[in-house]
Amino acid sequence: MGTLDGKVALITGAARGQGRAHAARLAAAGADIIAVDRCASIPEVPWPLASPDDLRETAALVESHGRRCLTQVADVRDTRQMEAAIAAGLEAFGHIDIVVANAGAGSYARAWELTEAEWDAVVDTNLKGAWITCRAVIPSMIERGAGGSLILVSSTAGLRPYAHMAHYVAAKHGIVGLARALAVELAPYRIRVNAVHPTSVDTGMIQNEATYRLFRPDLEHPTREDVAPIFRTLNLLGVPWLEPDDISAAVLWLASDASRYVTGISLPVDAGASLK
Q: Which residues are catalytic?
A: 168
DSSP 14: T
Judged by CB under 8 A, how many residues of this single chain contact another protein? 35
Q: Which position among 6, 48, 229, 272 is part of the footprint of another protein (CB under 8 A)?
A: 272
DSSP 66: T
Kindly state the helix (H) or strand (E) to which residue 135 belongs, with its residue range: helix 129-144
Applying CB under 8 A, the span of 42-50, 63-71, 119-127, 257-265 interacting with another protein comes to 257-265
**What order of strands is seen across the sheet that includes strand 69-73?**
69-73, 32-37, 8-12, 98-101, 148-153, 191-198, 266-269
Q: Which position among 188, 218, 220, 221 is part of the footprint of another protein (CB under 8 A)?
A: 188
**Contact between 237 and another protein (CB under 8 A)?**
yes
As a whole number of angstroms, the distance between CA 183 and CA 265 comes to 9
Q: Please state whether beta strands 266-269 and 191-198 pair in parallel, antiparallel, or not at all (unpaired).
A: parallel
- In the shown chain, the binding pattern of residues 195 to 234 toward another protein, with x for contact by CB under 8 A and - for none, equals ----x-----------------------------------
Kindly state the helix (H) or strand (E) to which residue 8 belongs, with its residue range: strand 8-12
**Contact between 75 and another protein (CB under 8 A)?**
no
Task: Show the beta-strand stretches assigned E in 38-188.
Answer: 69-73, 98-101, 148-153
DSSP letter string over 157-208? GGTS--TTBHHHHHHHHHHHHHHHHHHHHHGGGTEEEEEEEE--BSSTTTSS
**Contact between 43 and another protein (CB under 8 A)?**
no
**Nearest residue (CB) to another protein, 15 versus 271:** 271
Q: Which position among 184, 210, 219, 228 is part of the footprint of another protein (CB under 8 A)?
A: 184
Applying CB under 8 A, the span of 31-39, 122-130, 181-189, 222-230 interacting with another protein comes to 181-189
Nearest to 102 by CA among 52, 50, 53: 50
**Nearest residue (CB) to another protein, 30 versus 216:** 30
- Least distance between another protein and beta carbon 197 (Å): 9
Applying CB under 8 A, the span of 91-99, 102-110, 112-120, 267-275 interacting with another protein comes to 267-275
Q: Please return the burial class of 197, using the count of CB atoms within 10 Å of its CB with bins 0-12, 13-18 and 19+.
A: buried
Q: State the residues that interact with another protein by CB under 8 A.
A: 180, 183-184, 187-188, 190, 192, 199, 235-239, 242, 246, 249-250, 252-253, 258-265, 267-272, 274-275
